[in-house]
Chain A
Amino acid sequence: MSSIGIPAMQSVRHGEVVVTKIGVGFVLAVILLGMPLVIPEYQTFQLTGVMTYAVAALGLNLITGYVGQVSLGHNAFFALGSYAAVLSVAYLGVNDVLAVLIAAVVTFIAGVLAGYPAKRLRGLYLALITLILAVSVVPLVKQFKAYTGGAAGLMVDKPVPPAWFTLGQDAWIYYMVLAFTVVVFWLVRNFVGGSNGRALAGIREGELAASSMGVDVNRLKVIVFGAGSMLAGVGGALATFTIGFIGPDSFTLMLSISFLAAIVVGGLGTIWGALVAGLFLQFVPSYASDLGQAFSGAVYGGILIACMTLMPNGIVGSLMKIIGNRREARKAADRTAPKSAERTAVKAAADRGVRAT
């Protein structure tokens, strides 16, 4: 996406940038909406999976990337959302969209309750408590066997398209998930784009400084923990409806660590990093498990360590840095140097950018 938009933006003035952005958005919308028409059913199903994971990863990125709180309990909220949605369909008889919204409310409340002690805890203690939350999911699911189906899990009815919709069930679910994804990404972008985003960055970089600037640190932390958990719940509910099955084995601690690895790869504290994370979560595990049971852990472990030490900004963060550096260099070159020197300056700055990341 950035490769379409950015080169044009460099050379045009402000008004034209907006036009370019609208153009990019339009093309993107056409591609996203047209996707199920051109690609096979199975790939539609996979893309739906990418979006469900991206929504949940965006939630963890809010908690971990934007505020800097380490949560290992994301799998717990993912599971809670899934079970809330499935059980509300089974026992309340609501439709699927309403079930996802119920899951959102339930996980938001649970997230706020969990976030309440979390606001007082420094990173390590929070990581510990959420770690225990993460490993208690499977035992809890087994304990309430009568509702959850225990270790064997439950089959879930996938959303059924109405009669007028002729593209098939996978495409219908794709559009349903797409709608949720777009709304969620739009809401989060607005949330972190304004003063809230700067307040969050303030908390991450220096809590004391942020609170002395009038940021209500505790309130914001609890809200973000609730909202991030809610997105995990929404993602979980959507993923369960996409797959058509729910069972405790998909909600182990490994899921939390995968989420963490994915947002680290995608880019902590970036919106689009969550989308990269979605792609990562959908495709990497299946390739890694083809190579053997032991290998998937090695892949995650290696990626986590390598990214954290060599590329702490992740894919999206690094790209944005490179682009930002180039733009700066271009501006500086426009102001000072004649045209002939421009190329070398841009190139030098770009090199610096690459080395800096």
Chain B
Amino acid sequence: MQYFFQQIVNGIGDGAIYASLGLALVLIYRTTNIANFAQGEMATFSAYLAWQMVDWGVPLWWSFLIAIILSMVVGVLAYLLLVRWVQHRDELTIVIVTLGLFLAFNSFDGAIWGFLQLSLPSPFPEKSFAIGAFRFNAELLGTIALLIAISTCMFLLLQHTRLGTALRASASNATSAMLVGVPFTAMMAIGWGLAAGLGAVSGLLVGPKLTLDPNMMGAIIIYAFAAAVVGGLTSYRGAVVGGAIVGISQALSMAYLPWLGSDLQILLPLMLIVAVLIIKPEGLFGSTVVVRV
């Protein structure tokens, strides 16, 4: 039983990473109505930026901060230079263009930093605590704390500031928002910038756990999409809960279904997505129904 709960705790740690990337996906989906397949590769790029800073001798936390800010700039540029021009085209065009972005970032990373594996230092100390019979390491607690902090900031920003109101207005009705003087393009660009920042956080959390190479986020982005879809794709709360669900079910299936092997774990998010789409297509926190889990 203790083993079971320990798996759940570990699952929540991974889930927090999926949730942060899932939040980025939801943010972009809500503001620009685009599923950004390049989100994971943009996060990998952020991790490389941080690695480069560390390599140049910048202190660790500063490197991470600079990497996040630069990533936000990249996100804004991606919107202004490219996405803006295809935003109102059909779904096929948008999916294909974000796939193009995916490839562009992937090969850009490879061209500059190579395909060899690099290692990014962890921002958390290598300590672990025992509370009762459970063991928590600092990384796990730090990840969860970070996710809570990010979610709170996002909530405050979106619900309690003028900027957040303008962002939500542009997303829900572009024409009306423009009529009352909200600069639409700037709002969309800020949305992409924020999402890139969120993605960067997930990249910086994944980097130290795995090794840094251009395909680092390949599987993570799929789990993040699963998290977002389970949560309903339009709900921030849904992305967080979805991330926890995906993380926990992954940890449990690793522990109790060893015959799946580490390779076939990728079928788990497929099953989750299909199950959600069949049972409750709008997701757990989809636009109309709200369910507490």
Q: Which positions in A face B, CB cutoff 8 Å?
A: 64, 68, 70, 72, 117, 120-125, 127-129, 131-133, 135-136, 138-140, 142-143, 257, 260, 264, 268, 292-298, 300-305, 308-309, 312
In the complex with contacts A136-B267, A264-B96, A125-B103 CB distance below 8 A: no
Contact B99 A304 (CB under 8 A): yes
B40 to chain A, nearest CB (A): 11
Sorted nearest first, the 7 A-B pairs with minimum C-beta distance are: A297-B107, A301-B103, A139-B263, A304-B100, A123-B91, A294-B110, A294-B111
Residue from B104, B107, B263, B270 with most neighbouring chain A CB atoms (10 Å): B107
In the complex with contacts A125-B277, A135-B266, A296-B107 CB distance below 8 A: yes
Which residues, 92 to 140 on B, are CB-close (under 8 Å) to A? 92-93, 95-97, 99-104, 106-108, 110-111, 115
Q: How far is the CA of A227 from the CA of B230 in the complex (A)?
A: 30
Chain A at the B interface: mostly helix, strand, loop or mixed? helix
Question: Can you list 28 contacts pairing A with B, beta carbon distance less than 8 Å?
Answer: A123-B91, A124-B95, A127-B35, A127-B95, A132-B270, A135-B222, A136-B267, A139-B263, A142-B263, A143-B263, A257-B103, A293-B115, A294-B111, A295-B111, A298-B107, A301-B100, A301-B102, A302-B100, A303-B100, A304-B96, A304-B99, A304-B100, A304-B103, A305-B82, A305-B100, A308-B96, A309-B85, A309-B86
B57 interfacial contact with A, CB 8 Å: no
Q: Kindly supply a per-residue 1/0 record for chain B positions 253-272, scoring 1 wherever the CB is within 8 Å of any chain A CB and 0 otherwise.
A: 00000000101101101100
In the bound complex, residues from chain A placing their C-beta under 8 Å from that of B267 are 132, 136
In the complex with contacts A125-B229, A298-B111, A301-B101, A132-B266 CB distance below 8 A: yes
Residue from B93, B95, B100 with most neighbouring chain A CB atoms (10 Å): B100
A148 to chain B, nearest CB (A): 13
Q: How many A-B residue pairs have CB under 8 A?
A: 123
Contact A308 B277 (CB under 8 A): no
Q: How far is the CA of A260 from the CA of B102 in the complex (A)?
A: 14
B218 interfacial contact with A, CB 8 Å: yes
Chain B at the A interface: mostly helix, strand, loop or mixed? helix
B276 to chain A, nearest CB (A): 10
Given contacts A123-B95, A293-B110, A304-B100, 7 further A-B contacts (CB under 8 A): A117-B277, A120-B277, A127-B95, A135-B219, A136-B267, A293-B115, A298-B103
In the bound complex, residues from chain A placing their C-beta under 8 Å from that of B264 are 136, 139-140, 143
Contact B225 A117 (CB under 8 A): no
In the bound complex, residues from chain B placing their C-beta under 8 Å from that of A129 are 270, 273-274
B291 interfacial contact with A, CB 8 Å: no
Residue from A117, A142, A305 with most neighbouring chain B CB atoms (10 Å): A305
In the bound complex, residues from chain B placing their C-beta under 8 Å from that of A142 are 263
A152 to chain B, nearest CB (A): 15
Contact A308 B270 (CB under 8 A): no
Q: Which positions in B face A, CB cutoff 8 Å?
A: 35, 37, 82, 85-86, 90-93, 95-97, 99-104, 106-108, 110-111, 115, 218-219, 222, 225, 229, 261, 263-264, 266-267, 269-270, 273-274, 277-278, 281
Q: How far is the CA of A72 from the CA of B98 in the complex (A)?
A: 13
Q: How far is the CA of A256 from the CA of B160 in the complex (A)?
A: 44
In the bound complex, residues from chain B placing their C-beta under 8 Å from that of A124 are 35, 91, 95
Contact B97 A308 (CB under 8 A): yes
Q: How far is the CA of A139 from the CA of B278 in the complex (A)?
A: 25
A314 to chain B, nearest CB (A): 12
In the complex with contacts A117-B274, A143-B263, A312-B82 CB distance below 8 A: no
A136: which of B85, B261, B270 is its contact (CB, 8 Å)? B270
In the bound complex, residues from chain A placing their C-beta under 8 Å from that of B107 are 294-298, 301
In the bound complex, residues from chain B placing their C-beta under 8 Å from that of A296 are 107
Q: How far is the CA of A142 from the CA of B264 in the complex (A)?
A: 9
Q: How far is the CA of A302 from the CA of B100 in the complex (A)?
A: 7
Contact B86 A308 (CB under 8 A): yes
